[in-house]
Amino acid sequence: MMQKRILSLALALTLLVAAFAGCTGSGTGSQSSTASTSQTSTDSGKETLVRMNIGSEPDSLDPWQSAASDTEAIMHNVFEGLVLYDETGAIIPGIAESWDISQDGLTYTFHLREDVTFHNDQPLTSADVLYTYNNLAGMGGEKAVSSKFENVESFEAPDEYTFVVKLKEPSAGFLSLNIIAILPEGYEDQATAPVGTGPFKFVEYTPSQRVVLEKNENYYNKDRMAQVDRVEFYIMTDSAAVVSALQSGTLDIASIDADDASVLESQFDIYNSPQNMVQIFAMNNSVAPFDDVRVRQAVNYAIDKDQIINTVFGGYATKLYTNFSPVMGVYYNDQLEDSYDTDLEKAKELLKEAGYENGFEFTITAPANYQAHIDTAQIIKQQLEQIGVTATIETIEWAAWLEDVYSNAQYQTTIVGLTGKLDPDAVLGRFKTDYPKNFFKFSDDEYDQLITSALTEQDEQTRIDDYKRCQEILTQQAAAAFISDPNLVVASRKDLKGYTFYPVTFHDMTKLYYEG
């Protein structure tokens, strides 16, 4: 009896092991068999379809109620502003074919295209633009839906295709605000059936499942005409599910975890690019011991960013030195790239100067839903042990993180990714003393002054210099440890070409096309 039990236990274990071997083995074993299934799915029919994943549920389809970058990444195919941005982040004409800026920098006159129609066939005129901007800025009796237009004095629509904005103060960053979506006047159902002017029309949204868009055949700009007929975005929260969906041909293109790139690279084209995110090890500048700049610098010297990039992101990340990604082009300060090379001796020395010769203990509060940040925390913990500093990692739910850390700054240190914006003010402004969500509790008089003056600065070179100096201050003051810009990694079917990266997360579906 006993023998039999042992035998059955042994056999059960063998089976179990075999099952697990199947789990891991099939990742590599499947490469030849899947290539064929993924080809068949869309090529044959007349209608071309692209299926992609998104990592989170849209916060709202109504652009006025939406702020999530994942939502913007897909809905920017549906909505357009007066201006658009290109791959380098430069502002290009959109609904407005041209614009004039007055000498004093206070008056912007936009000349609208006359051939733009909304997806509900209503032609676009300056009345729609006026309606949109009145709502954004809270003018004409409307309630403001954005706080970015407080600098506006007035809006006018002198004729059907001209729109004039008068500012209270000149603002070099104003033009880039106009990428914001233009909505049709009087249309109330944006949250359920969004209507824009973009190259794709909204078709359907099934909560927790998918968002479907289709080609706008009447799109005015032939150069930006969609090349595929239909796009389906599947809401997928599990990265393993994304990989198997690609392998089984249920997705055509997907943004993936860097870890998964090696599994997929033989069957798929892998593209990657910095995504203008700053992964940051934030130290609360207002609590001891991190209120001492020397301690923050010591931490910076102790952290080996390359190790994090190679371990956590499989090499798919761009090293950072300040709160700014190199994709920001002209505004990026490349003179900082040799600061804080890993130097444990120097770190220990700085700690000694600050009176922490025997180290100290502290907590890293990491958001539980971001595995990459938790993994980074583990590595930083080990690296800091080398200079005698002991970290305890505490993971908390995202909702709790937003409340405790982000809103109330009740924390010692944390790790998070700050998504990038086209406007350098939106990126660097987070460190301004009176920024409501300055959870770093960083404060520097010169910094505040530069950020404020750069906003109204007319001379572009001075403005660039101001922002570069701001980045330098952040580095010198070690406002935080700026780790990396984790690259956006995209795996695409080999016959699906044209995926294009932008300095902000935008899945531009107009560029995609099937080869052959």
Partner 1 sequence: MAKYYIRKVAGFLVTLFLVSLLTFAVFQILPGNPALVILGVDADPAQIQQLEDEMGLDKPIPLRFLEWVGGLLRGDLGTSYRYHQPVSQLIGNAFGVTVQLAVFALILTALVGIPVGIWLSHHSKKPYALPVSMLSQLGLSVPAFCFSVLLINIFSVQLGWLPSMGYTPFSQDPVACLKSLTLPSVAIAFGSAAVLIRYVKVSVIQQEHQDYVKTAQSKGVPARKILRSHVLRNSLIPVLTIFGMTITDVLGGSIIIENVFSLPGIGKLVSTSINSRDLPLIQGLVLYLAIIVVVCNFLVDVLYSVIDPRIRLK
- Which positions touch partner 1 (CB under 8 A)? 8, 11-12, 15-16, 19-20, 22-23, 26-27, 29-30, 33-34, 36-37, 57, 59-60, 64-69, 138, 143-148, 191-192, 206-210, 234-238, 240-241, 244-245, 247-250, 369, 397-400, 402-404, 406-407, 416, 418-419, 421, 436-437
| Single-letter code of the amino acid located at 84 | L
Nearer to partner 1, 122 or 146 (CB): 146
User: Distance from CA of residue 468 to its chain's centroid?
Assistant: 22
| Rounded CA separation 161/46 (Å) | 38
Nearer to partner 1, 139 or 225 (CB): 139
Nearer to partner 1, 107 or 419 (CB): 419
Q: How far is the CB of 183 from partner 1 (least distance, A)?
A: 15
Q: How far is the CB of 36 from partner 1 (least distance, A)?
A: 8
| Rounded CA separation 508/500 (Å) | 7
Nearer to partner 1, 279 or 333 (CB): 279
Q: How far is the CB of 306 from partner 1 (least distance, A)?
A: 27
Q: How far is the CB of 294 from partner 1 (least distance, A)?
A: 29
Q: How far is the CB of 426 from partner 1 (least distance, A)?
A: 9
Nearer to partner 1, 152 or 389 (CB): 152
Pairing type for strands 390-396 and 361-367 reads: parallel
What is the token pair recorded at 93? 């004409």
**DSSP bridge pairs for 414:** 282, 365
Phi/psi region, residue 470 (left: phi>0; alpha: psi -120 to 50; beta: rest), is: alpha
Q: How far is the CB of 384 from partner 1 (least distance, A)?
A: 25
| Rounded CA separation 162/126 (Å) | 6
Nearer to partner 1, 232 or 466 (CB): 232
Nearer to partner 1, 120 or 192 (CB): 192
Dihedral of the CA atoms 472, 276, 77, 246 (nearest 10)?
Answer: 180
Would you tell me the crossing angle of helices 239-247 and 31-43 to the nearest 10 degrees?
Answer: 80
Q: Which residue do the tokens 């990396």 mark? A: 484
| Rounded CA separation 401/407 (Å) | 8
Are 314 and 484 in contact by the 8 Å Cβ rule? The answer is no
Are 144 and 138 in contact by the 8 Å Cβ rule? The answer is yes
Pairing type for strands 361-367 and 413-419 reads: parallel
Dihedral of the CA atoms 394, 397, 399, 404 (nearest 10)?
Answer: -10
Q: How far is the CB of 18 from partner 1 (least distance, A)?
A: 10
Q: How far is the CB of 402 from partner 1 (least distance, A)?
A: 5
| Rounded CA separation 323/82 (Å) | 29
Nearer to partner 1, 43 or 397 (CB): 397
